């Protein structure tokens, strides 16, 4: 389905990004993974290397909050692979702090990685796509909490709300070039950032048990399949959309009887 396409996944050593890389690879794409690990560490982490079904993978160590690194890595992709068709703008962080205790540093770090990092990646990718006349796909990883406040992660929720508007702005302005821009909004996934919170924050686990109408946390694979769909020819008429994969979390909450 995605044969001959080149797909970039930022934060691709993490749980959701890794599943995206694997599923895009299985759909036939050549996948480029960006993350903060050294090359050696990444080989351990990028489990797609080990999966015979996965497509070819290239790893680049890139901090998305550093514009120079982002642009230079993209130049390398164009030089080595000749094209870029799909970008999953997925790298992200969360560090919980109650609102009254949020430090300036915590606030700034979320904005630097989750929002400015996404802008750095998405704008640089979009320029390459437009320059090369590629009707590409840019897919952000937002979150259901980009629209619904969740306790103790204000800088994170604000960064994801900003990401949703960045996506919509880009969708509007890039439509004339045929570049489609969308977001997936996972709910609570028992992996990655939420997985760590489930393990380390008892109050988080207690809240989670109450708020998922479909009862179970999601999986990275469910998010990755949604990404593959948005990257596919079947989604060609979709742009400017947040595709929510949250087991109903963002519905109005009733107490479960
Ligand atoms: N896990 C969930 O429940 C959940 C729910 C909704 C949204 N999300 C979003 O999914 C995305 C992936 O998160 P995950 O859950 O897989 O967590 P994760 O921690 O497993 O993966 C995040 C990856 O991003 C990388 N990263 C962090 N800062 C970076 C930077 N400056 N430059 C490059 N890479 C960087 C990390 O090294 C890590 O490998 C995030 O944007 C997150 O907000 C996750």
pLDDT digits (tens, 9 = 90+) for 40-65: 887 776 655 545 555 668 999 999 99
Judged against a pLDDT cut of 90, whether residue 254 lies above it is answered with no
In a domain, 103, yes or no: yes
The CA distance from 150 to 142, in Å, is 14
Would you say 51 and 22 are in contact if contact means Cβ atoms under 8 Å apart? Answer: yes
Query: Does the annotation count 59 as an active-site position?
Result: no
Number of domains in the chain: 1
The CA distance from 146 to 168, in Å, is 13
Would you say 119 and 170 are in contact if contact means Cβ atoms under 8 Å apart? Answer: no
Q: Which domain holds residue 96?
A: 6-187+220-244
Q: What local confidence, expressed as pLDDT, does residue 45 receive?
A: 67
| Confidence band of 11 (pLDDT split at 50, 70, 90) | very high
In a domain, 193, yes or no: no
In a domain, 129, yes or no: yes
In a domain, 159, yes or no: yes
For ligand 1, is residue 226 a contact (CB within 6 Å)? no
Q: What local confidence, expressed as pLDDT, does residue 112 receive?
A: 98
In a domain, 84, yes or no: yes
The CA distance from 175 to 255, in Å, is 42
Q: What local confidence, expressed as pLDDT, does residue 198 receive?
A: 83
Judged against a pLDDT cut of 60, whether residue 248 lies above it is answered with yes
How many percent of the chain have pLDDT more than 70?
Answer: 94
Q: What local confidence, expressed as pLDDT, does residue 50 receive?
A: 46
The residue with greater pLDDT, 85 or 51, is 85
The predicted model scores a pTM of: 0.96
Q: What local confidence, expressed as pLDDT, does residue 131 receive?
A: 98
* Cβ density class 215-236: b for 16+ within 10 Å, e for less: eebbbbebbbbbbbbbbbeebe
Mutation test of ligand 1: which of 192, 196, 212, 226 has the most ligand atoms closer than 8 Å to its C-beta? Answer: 192
In a domain, 12, yes or no: yes
Q: Averaged over 65-86, what is the pLDDT?
A: 97
E-assigned strand segments in the chain: 6-10, 30-35, 57-61, 86-89, 137-141, 180-186, 242-245
Q: Give bridge partners of residue 184 from the DSSP assignment.
A: 141, 243
For 189-225, the pLDDT digits (tens) are 999 988 888 888 888 888 887 899 998 999 999 999 9
Q: In angstroms, what CA-CA distances link 14 with 18, 47, 127?
A: 6, 10, 26
In a domain, 102, yes or no: yes
Q: What local confidence, expressed as pLDDT, does residue 54 receive?
A: 55
In a domain, 257, yes or no: no
For 135-145, the pLDDT digits (tens) are 999 999 999 99
For ligand 1, is residue 29 a contact (CB within 6 Å)? no
| Confidence band of 253 (pLDDT split at 50, 70, 90) | confident
CATH number, domain with residue 44: 3.40.50.720
For ligand 1, is residue 91 a contact (CB within 6 Å)? yes
The CA distance from 6 to 86, in Å, is 6
Structure tokens at 83: 């094209």
86-89/6-10 β-pairing: parallel
């Amino acid at each position: 389905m995605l044969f001959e396409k080149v797909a970039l996944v930022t934060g691709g050593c993490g749980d959701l990004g890794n599943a995206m890389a694997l599923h895009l690879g299985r759909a036939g794409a050549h996948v480029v993974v960006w993350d903060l690990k050294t090359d050696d560490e990444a080989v351990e982490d990028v489990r797609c290397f080990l999966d015979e079904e996965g497509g070819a993978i290239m790893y680049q160590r890139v901090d998305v909050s550093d514009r120079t690194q982002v642009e230079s890595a993209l130049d390398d992709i164009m030089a080595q692979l000749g094209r870029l068709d799909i970008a999953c703008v997925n790298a992200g962080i969360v560090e919980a702090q109650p609102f009254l205790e949020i430090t300036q540093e915590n606030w700034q770090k979320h904005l630097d990685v989750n929002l400015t990092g996404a802008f750095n990646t998405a704008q640089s990718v979009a320029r390459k796509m437009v320059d090369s006349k590629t009707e590409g796909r840019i897919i952000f990883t937002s979150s259901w909490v980009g629209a619904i406040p969740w306790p103790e992660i204000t800088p994170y929720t604000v960064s994801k709300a900003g990401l949703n508007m960045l996506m919509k702005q880009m969708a509007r302005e890039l439509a004339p070039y045929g570049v489609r821009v969308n977001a997936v909004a996972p709910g609570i996934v028992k992996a990655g950032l939420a997985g760590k919170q489930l393990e380390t924050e008892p109050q988080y686990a207690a809240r989670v048990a109450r708020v998922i109408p479909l009862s179970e946390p999601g999986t990275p694979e469910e998010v990755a399949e949604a990404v593959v769909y948005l990257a596919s020819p079947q989604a060609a008429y979709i742009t400017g959309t947040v595709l929510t994969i949250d087991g109903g979390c963002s519905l109005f909450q009733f107490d479960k009887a």
